[in-house]
Amino acid sequence: MTDITFTDQNFQEEVLNSPLPVLVDFWAPWCGPCKIVGPIVEELAKDYAGKVKVGKLNVDENQNVSSQFGIMSIPSLMLFKAGQPVKTMVGAQGKESFKKGIDEVLASA
């Protein structure tokens, strides 16, 4: 599991105020596709260490943030840059698809 767990309480500090881009995995323990995406998110955390902060947010336990950003389907991976959501990837996808999305955001000024 990724080292960082985002919550309603720490989201402002950990995500919105982060100097690095942040990838948030919106998930729930009962979600089958989330279990498929979980190991991919862990690999992405290693691949982008020092470039992107990666963490998970349990939507059942943190409904304020989930509703604030309109999370309707999980898994949803949302990339934040300078405190703003800049890309959302919904559903179970392959690692290369997620990497493409992250690389697009990192390449943008």
**Catalytic position from the list 15, 22, 23, 31:** 31
- Is 34 one of the catalytic residues? yes
**Catalytic position from the list 4, 22, 23, 34:** 34
- Is 1 one of the catalytic residues? no
CB 94 within 8 A of CB 37: no
Alpha helices in 1-109 (DSSP H): 11, 32-47, 63-68, 95-107
Q: Which residues are catalytic?
A: 31, 34
